[in-house]
Structure 1
Amino acid sequence: MSAIVRGKVHKYGDNINTDIISPPQYMELSIAEAAKYAMSAIDPDFAAKVQKGDILVAGANFGSGSSRETSPLTLKYLGVGAIVAKFFARIFYRNAINLGIPVIECSDADKIQNGDTIEIDLETGIIRNITRQETYQGTRIPAHILELINEGGLVPYLKKTI
Protein backbone atom coordinates (compact mmCIF):
# COMPACT_ATOMS: atom_id res chain seq x y z
CA MET A 1 0.00 0.00 0.00
CA SER A 2 1.19 3.46 -0.80
CA ALA A 3 1.29 6.15 1.86
CA ILE A 4 -1.39 7.88 -0.24
CA VAL A 5 -4.96 6.57 -0.27
CA ARG A 6 -7.41 8.06 -2.74
CA GLY A 7 -11.04 7.14 -3.13
CA LYS A 8 -14.70 8.03 -3.28
CA VAL A 9 -16.37 8.89 0.02
CA HIS A 10 -19.24 7.03 1.63
CA LYS A 11 -20.37 9.37 4.43
CA TYR A 12 -22.19 8.53 7.65
CA GLY A 13 -22.93 10.27 10.94
CA ASP A 14 -22.06 9.90 14.60
CA ASN A 15 -22.20 6.80 16.81
CA ILE A 16 -21.98 4.18 14.07
CA ASN A 17 -21.54 1.12 16.28
CA THR A 18 -20.30 -2.36 15.47
CA ASP A 19 -23.86 -3.70 15.25
CA ILE A 20 -24.54 -1.21 12.45
CA ILE A 21 -21.24 -1.94 10.70
CA SER A 22 -21.70 -5.71 10.89
CA PRO A 23 -25.19 -6.73 12.06
CA PRO A 24 -24.99 -9.46 14.72
CA GLN A 25 -27.63 -11.66 13.08
CA TYR A 26 -25.06 -12.40 10.33
CA MET A 27 -22.11 -13.16 12.64
CA GLU A 28 -22.25 -16.90 12.02
CA LEU A 29 -21.83 -16.43 8.27
CA SER A 30 -18.47 -16.40 6.54
CA ILE A 31 -16.93 -12.94 6.23
CA ALA A 32 -17.69 -13.01 2.49
CA GLU A 33 -21.38 -13.63 3.20
CA ALA A 34 -21.58 -11.29 6.23
CA ALA A 35 -19.97 -8.48 4.20
CA LYS A 36 -23.11 -8.34 2.02
CA TYR A 37 -24.92 -6.89 5.05
CA ALA A 38 -22.27 -4.37 6.15
CA MET A 39 -23.84 -1.03 7.11
CA SER A 40 -27.25 -2.36 5.96
CA ALA A 41 -29.06 -0.95 9.00
CA ILE A 42 -28.45 2.59 7.73
CA ASP A 43 -27.51 1.99 4.07
CA PRO A 44 -28.93 -1.22 2.57
CA ASP A 45 -26.97 -0.63 -0.66
CA PHE A 46 -23.56 -0.05 0.95
CA ALA A 47 -22.06 -3.46 0.13
CA ALA A 48 -23.25 -3.27 -3.47
CA LYS A 49 -21.97 0.25 -4.14
CA VAL A 50 -18.65 0.37 -2.27
CA GLN A 51 -15.68 -0.16 -4.58
CA LYS A 52 -12.16 -1.27 -3.75
CA GLY A 53 -10.28 1.73 -2.37
CA ASP A 54 -13.36 3.76 -1.43
CA ILE A 55 -13.14 5.66 1.84
CA LEU A 56 -15.67 5.51 4.64
CA VAL A 57 -16.09 8.85 6.46
CA ALA A 58 -18.07 9.24 9.66
CA GLY A 59 -18.63 11.54 12.58
CA ALA A 60 -17.80 10.96 16.22
CA ASN A 61 -17.48 7.63 18.02
CA PHE A 62 -17.18 5.34 15.00
CA GLY A 63 -17.00 1.65 15.90
CA SER A 64 -18.36 1.77 19.43
CA GLY A 65 -19.91 -1.38 20.84
CA SER A 66 -18.45 -4.85 20.86
CA SER A 67 -14.85 -5.88 20.39
CA ARG A 68 -15.54 -8.49 17.71
CA GLU A 69 -13.42 -8.22 14.59
CA THR A 70 -16.24 -8.97 12.16
CA SER A 71 -16.97 -5.26 11.77
CA PRO A 72 -13.58 -4.20 10.40
CA LEU A 73 -13.21 -7.58 8.65
CA THR A 74 -16.35 -7.03 6.58
CA LEU A 75 -15.15 -3.55 5.61
CA LYS A 76 -11.76 -4.92 4.63
CA TYR A 77 -13.38 -7.70 2.62
CA LEU A 78 -15.42 -5.10 0.71
CA GLY A 79 -12.21 -3.22 -0.13
CA VAL A 80 -12.61 -0.10 2.02
CA GLY A 81 -9.29 1.70 1.56
CA ALA A 82 -9.40 3.82 4.72
CA ILE A 83 -11.75 5.14 7.37
CA VAL A 84 -11.86 8.78 8.47
CA ALA A 85 -13.87 9.84 11.52
CA LYS A 86 -13.92 12.63 14.09
CA PHE A 87 -12.84 9.96 16.56
CA PHE A 88 -13.01 6.19 16.90
CA ALA A 89 -13.92 3.81 19.67
CA ARG A 90 -10.48 2.56 20.73
CA ILE A 91 -11.14 -1.16 20.32
CA PHE A 92 -12.41 -0.68 16.76
CA TYR A 93 -9.45 1.60 16.00
CA ARG A 94 -6.98 -1.06 17.12
CA ASN A 95 -8.86 -3.89 15.38
CA ALA A 96 -8.85 -1.94 12.11
CA ILE A 97 -5.10 -1.32 12.32
CA ASN A 98 -4.49 -4.97 13.22
CA LEU A 99 -6.37 -5.93 10.05
CA GLY A 100 -4.46 -3.44 7.90
CA ILE A 101 -7.13 -0.75 7.47
CA PRO A 102 -5.82 2.82 7.80
CA VAL A 103 -7.86 4.87 10.28
CA ILE A 104 -7.50 8.64 10.46
CA GLU A 105 -9.08 10.91 13.04
CA CYS A 106 -10.01 14.32 11.68
CA SER A 107 -11.95 17.03 13.51
CA ASP A 108 -13.10 18.38 10.12
CA ALA A 109 -14.65 15.08 8.96
CA ASP A 110 -18.06 16.78 8.87
CA LYS A 111 -16.83 19.00 6.00
CA ILE A 112 -16.34 15.96 3.77
CA GLN A 113 -19.50 15.00 1.86
CA ASN A 114 -20.88 11.77 0.47
CA GLY A 115 -19.58 11.23 -3.05
CA ASP A 116 -16.53 13.49 -2.67
CA THR A 117 -13.18 12.17 -3.81
CA ILE A 118 -10.49 12.55 -1.18
CA GLU A 119 -6.81 11.78 -0.99
CA ILE A 120 -5.14 10.98 2.33
CA ASP A 121 -1.41 11.19 2.97
CA LEU A 122 -1.12 8.62 5.75
CA GLU A 123 2.35 9.81 6.77
CA THR A 124 1.32 13.44 7.33
CA GLY A 125 -2.41 13.03 8.01
CA ILE A 126 -3.24 15.61 5.35
CA ILE A 127 -6.59 14.96 3.66
CA ARG A 128 -7.13 16.68 0.32
CA ASN A 129 -10.73 16.94 -0.81
CA ILE A 130 -10.30 16.81 -4.58
CA THR A 131 -14.00 17.53 -5.17
CA ARG A 132 -14.21 20.64 -2.98
CA GLN A 133 -10.60 21.83 -3.31
CA GLU A 134 -10.19 21.82 0.49
CA THR A 135 -7.54 20.45 2.82
CA TYR A 136 -8.01 19.10 6.34
CA GLN A 137 -5.53 17.94 8.94
CA GLY A 138 -6.03 14.46 10.31
CA THR A 139 -3.86 12.30 12.51
CA ARG A 140 -0.72 10.95 10.92
CA ILE A 141 0.09 7.28 11.05
CA PRO A 142 3.49 6.61 12.65
CA ALA A 143 6.02 4.75 10.50
CA HIS A 144 5.92 1.54 12.54
CA ILE A 145 2.10 1.38 12.30
CA LEU A 146 2.19 2.25 8.60
CA GLU A 147 4.60 -0.67 8.10
CA LEU A 148 2.10 -2.99 9.81
CA ILE A 149 -0.74 -1.65 7.62
CA ASN A 150 1.38 -2.02 4.49
CA GLU A 151 1.91 -5.70 5.31
CA GLY A 152 -1.86 -6.22 5.45
CA GLY A 153 -2.20 -6.24 9.22
CA LEU A 154 -0.62 -7.61 12.37
CA VAL A 155 -0.59 -11.31 11.46
CA PRO A 156 1.06 -10.88 8.05
CA TYR A 157 3.50 -8.40 9.62
CA LEU A 158 4.48 -10.87 12.33
CA LYS A 159 4.83 -13.70 9.82
CA LYS A 160 7.25 -11.57 7.85
CA THR A 161 9.27 -10.26 10.77
CA ILE A 162 9.49 -13.33 13.02
Structure 2
Amino acid sequence: MNTQGKVFKYPDNVDTDVIIPARYLNTPNAQELALHCMEDIDKAFVKKVEKGDVIVAGWNFGCGSSREHAPLVIKTCGTGCVIAKSFARIFYRNAINIGLPILECEEAADEINANDEVSVDFDTGIITDITTGKTYKAQPFPPFIQNIIKAGGLLKSLKEAENK
Protein backbone atom coordinates (compact mmCIF):
# COMPACT_ATOMS: atom_id res chain seq x y z
CA MET A 1 0.00 0.00 0.00
CA ASN A 2 1.33 3.45 -0.97
CA THR A 3 0.34 7.08 -1.12
CA GLN A 4 1.79 10.13 -2.79
CA GLY A 5 0.89 13.77 -2.45
CA LYS A 6 1.61 17.29 -1.35
CA VAL A 7 2.59 18.03 2.26
CA PHE A 8 0.60 20.08 4.74
CA LYS A 9 2.90 20.86 7.68
CA TYR A 10 1.79 21.52 11.26
CA PRO A 11 3.52 22.12 14.61
CA ASP A 12 3.63 20.15 17.86
CA ASN A 13 0.51 19.45 19.93
CA VAL A 14 -2.16 19.72 17.24
CA ASP A 15 -5.15 18.65 19.29
CA THR A 16 -8.39 17.00 18.27
CA ASP A 17 -10.32 20.26 18.82
CA VAL A 18 -8.17 21.85 16.11
CA ILE A 19 -8.50 18.85 13.79
CA ILE A 20 -12.31 18.92 14.10
CA PRO A 21 -13.76 21.67 16.29
CA ALA A 22 -16.38 20.41 18.77
CA ARG A 23 -18.90 22.98 17.52
CA TYR A 24 -19.41 20.81 14.41
CA LEU A 25 -19.93 17.48 16.15
CA ASN A 26 -23.71 17.71 15.90
CA THR A 27 -23.78 15.59 12.75
CA PRO A 28 -22.85 11.93 12.25
CA ASN A 29 -22.11 12.59 8.56
CA ALA A 30 -18.36 12.21 7.95
CA GLN A 31 -18.50 14.16 4.67
CA GLU A 32 -20.13 17.10 6.42
CA LEU A 33 -17.64 16.98 9.28
CA ALA A 34 -14.72 16.82 6.85
CA LEU A 35 -15.68 20.25 5.50
CA HIS A 36 -14.31 21.65 8.78
CA CYS A 37 -11.13 19.58 9.07
CA MET A 38 -8.18 21.65 10.38
CA GLU A 39 -10.11 24.91 9.96
CA ASP A 40 -9.00 26.38 13.30
CA ILE A 41 -5.33 26.02 12.35
CA ASP A 42 -5.50 26.18 8.52
CA LYS A 43 -8.68 27.58 6.99
CA ALA A 44 -7.49 26.73 3.47
CA PHE A 45 -6.80 23.04 4.21
CA VAL A 46 -10.14 21.61 3.04
CA LYS A 47 -10.04 23.73 -0.13
CA LYS A 48 -6.50 22.63 -1.03
CA VAL A 49 -6.22 19.01 0.15
CA GLU A 50 -6.32 16.38 -2.58
CA LYS A 51 -6.55 12.62 -2.46
CA GLY A 52 -3.24 11.19 -1.28
CA ASP A 53 -1.88 14.37 0.28
CA VAL A 54 0.16 13.98 3.46
CA ILE A 55 0.02 15.76 6.80
CA VAL A 56 3.42 16.14 8.49
CA ALA A 57 3.47 17.31 12.10
CA GLY A 58 5.54 17.52 15.25
CA TRP A 59 5.16 15.86 18.63
CA ASN A 60 1.91 14.68 20.17
CA PHE A 61 -0.33 14.97 17.10
CA GLY A 62 -3.97 14.32 17.99
CA CYS A 63 -3.72 15.14 21.69
CA GLY A 64 -6.80 16.26 23.59
CA SER A 65 -10.12 14.49 23.65
CA SER A 66 -10.49 10.90 22.55
CA ARG A 67 -12.96 11.57 19.76
CA GLU A 68 -12.72 9.21 16.83
CA HIS A 69 -13.94 12.04 14.62
CA ALA A 70 -10.42 13.52 14.38
CA PRO A 71 -8.77 10.74 12.34
CA LEU A 72 -12.06 10.12 10.54
CA VAL A 73 -12.24 13.65 9.09
CA ILE A 74 -8.58 13.56 8.09
CA LYS A 75 -9.21 10.32 6.20
CA THR A 76 -12.51 11.55 4.73
CA CYS A 77 -10.77 14.64 3.30
CA GLY A 78 -8.67 12.26 1.20
CA THR A 79 -5.46 12.58 3.20
CA GLY A 80 -3.30 9.57 2.38
CA CYS A 81 -1.19 9.55 5.53
CA VAL A 82 -0.15 11.47 8.63
CA ILE A 83 3.55 11.50 9.51
CA ALA A 84 4.47 12.91 12.91
CA LYS A 85 7.24 12.83 15.49
CA SER A 86 4.70 11.20 17.81
CA PHE A 87 0.96 10.70 18.20
CA ALA A 88 -1.25 10.94 21.23
CA ARG A 89 -1.96 7.30 22.10
CA ILE A 90 -5.74 7.51 21.78
CA PHE A 91 -5.43 9.21 18.36
CA TYR A 92 -2.95 6.52 17.32
CA ARG A 93 -5.41 3.76 18.18
CA ASN A 94 -8.39 5.58 16.70
CA ALA A 95 -6.46 6.09 13.44
CA ILE A 96 -5.90 2.34 13.16
CA ASN A 97 -9.54 1.64 14.07
CA ILE A 98 -10.85 3.80 11.21
CA GLY A 99 -8.10 2.88 8.73
CA LEU A 100 -6.07 6.12 8.58
CA PRO A 101 -2.42 5.34 7.79
CA ILE A 102 -0.01 7.01 10.23
CA LEU A 103 3.76 6.81 10.67
CA GLU A 104 6.09 8.11 13.35
CA CYS A 105 9.39 9.47 12.03
CA GLU A 106 11.13 12.33 13.81
CA GLU A 107 13.68 13.00 11.08
CA ALA A 108 11.04 13.16 8.34
CA ALA A 109 8.84 15.43 10.45
CA ASP A 110 11.78 17.78 11.01
CA GLU A 111 13.07 17.92 7.44
CA ILE A 112 10.05 17.63 5.13
CA ASN A 113 8.60 21.04 4.26
CA ALA A 114 5.12 22.27 3.46
CA ASN A 115 4.21 21.78 -0.21
CA ASP A 116 6.94 19.18 -0.79
CA GLU A 117 5.82 16.16 -2.80
CA VAL A 118 6.12 12.98 -0.71
CA SER A 119 5.56 9.29 -1.37
CA VAL A 120 5.05 6.70 1.35
CA ASP A 121 5.42 2.93 1.13
CA PHE A 122 3.49 1.54 4.10
CA ASP A 123 4.84 -2.00 3.68
CA THR A 124 8.46 -0.90 4.16
CA GLY A 125 8.00 2.36 6.09
CA ILE A 126 10.04 4.24 3.46
CA ILE A 127 9.09 7.91 3.13
CA THR A 128 10.52 9.67 0.08
CA ASP A 129 10.57 13.44 -0.22
CA ILE A 130 10.34 13.60 -3.99
CA THR A 131 11.06 17.34 -3.91
CA THR A 132 14.46 16.91 -2.22
CA GLY A 133 15.21 13.30 -3.13
CA LYS A 134 15.80 12.37 0.52
CA THR A 135 14.40 9.18 2.03
CA TYR A 136 13.45 8.38 5.61
CA LYS A 137 12.72 5.11 7.38
CA ALA A 138 9.73 4.83 9.69
CA GLN A 139 8.76 1.64 11.48
CA PRO A 140 6.01 0.04 9.38
CA PHE A 141 3.02 -1.50 11.06
CA PRO A 142 3.03 -5.29 11.37
CA PRO A 143 1.01 -7.10 8.69
CA PHE A 144 -2.10 -7.60 10.85
CA ILE A 145 -2.40 -3.82 11.44
CA GLN A 146 -1.61 -3.09 7.78
CA ASN A 147 -4.52 -5.42 6.92
CA ILE A 148 -6.84 -3.39 9.17
CA ILE A 149 -5.77 -0.16 7.45
CA LYS A 150 -6.01 -1.68 3.95
CA ALA A 151 -9.54 -2.91 4.76
CA GLY A 152 -10.55 0.63 5.70
CA GLY A 153 -10.69 0.11 9.45
CA LEU A 154 -11.16 -2.45 12.19
CA LEU A 155 -14.87 -3.13 11.63
CA LYS A 156 -14.39 -3.59 7.88
CA SER A 157 -11.43 -5.85 8.59
CA LEU A 158 -13.54 -8.00 10.91
CA LYS A 159 -16.29 -8.26 8.28
CA GLU A 160 -13.72 -9.37 5.69
CA ALA A 161 -12.43 -12.01 8.10
CA GLU A 162 -15.98 -13.29 8.73
CA ASN A 163 -16.59 -13.64 4.99
CA LYS A 164 -13.52 -15.79 4.43
In the superposition, the TM-score normalised over structure 1's length comes to 0.95
Q: Which amino acid aligns with 1:86?
A: K
Q: Which amino acid aligns with 2:124?
A: T
Runs (4 or more) in structure 1 with deviation over 3 Å come to none
Alpha-carbon separation, structure 2, partners of 1:112 and 1:46: 18
Q: Match of 1:43, SS?
A: coil
Q: Which one has the bigger strand percentage?
A: 1
Q: In the TM superposition, what is the alpha-carbon distance from 1:73 to its structure 2 partner? A: 1.1
Alpha-carbon separation, structure 2, partners of 1:21 and 1:116: 21
Q: Match of 1:38, SS?
A: coil
Q: Which amino acid aligns with 1:33?
A: E
Higher mean C-alpha displacement, 10-19 vs 138-147 = 138-147
Q: Match of 1:62, SS?
A: coil
Alpha-carbon separation, structure 2, partners of 1:88 and 1:151: 22
Q: Which amino acid aligns with 1:56?
A: I
- Paired residue for 1:126? 126
Query: Over residues 71-107 of structure 1, what are the superposed CA-to-partner deviations in whole Å (9 max), with x where a residue is unaligned?
Result: 1111111111111000000110111111111110001
Identical amino acids, percent of aligned pairs: 48
The answer for unaligned runs of 5 or more in structure 1 is: none
Alpha-carbon separation, structure 2, partners of 1:124 and 1:107: 17
The answer for unaligned runs of 5 or more in structure 2 is: none
Alpha-carbon separation, structure 2, partners of 1:148 and 1:155: 8
Q: In the TM superposition, what is the alpha-carbon distance from 1:31 to its structure 2 partner? A: 2.1
Aligned length: 160
Q: Which amino acid aligns with 2:58?
A: G
User: For the aligned residues, what is the CA RMSD?
Assistant: 0.9
Alpha-carbon separation, structure 1, partners of 2:104 and 2:122: 11
